Amino acid sequence: MNKKYIEVFNYEILGYLVMENHHHIILRTMGEALSKVMQRINTEFARTYNRENKRTGHVFEKRHKGILVKDDSYLWIRKVPVT
């Protein structure tokens, strides 16, 4: 993920997993609304993916679904290293 967005929107990605038509992201927002963070993440991902694959349009089928994680139930996503 582009570090300039992380600095501007003040969030931390703890883990992610990209699937064929959706993704799972564990992130911590620190003041910014989740909807704004997700808009930036999805926009940047789509631009990069479309440019690299010479295509246009939406990459993922639906809008994001935010779930507040209070336990370890989603930590399997952290198996993918964040670089």
Question: 83 lies in a domain?
Answer: no
Tally of CB atoms within 10 A around 11: 23
Output the pLDDT for position 51: 95
Question: What residues make up the domain containing 41?
Answer: 3-76
CA distance 2 to 11: 12
Question: 82 lies in a domain?
Answer: no
Output the pLDDT for position 77: 59
Question: 60 lies in a domain?
Answer: yes
Number of compact structural domains in the chain = 1
pLDDT tens digits for range 28-80: 888 888 888 888 888 888 899 999 999 998 888 777 778 777 777 666 655 55
Tell me if the pTM is above 0.75.
no
Across the chain, where does the E strand assignment appear? 11-18, 23-29
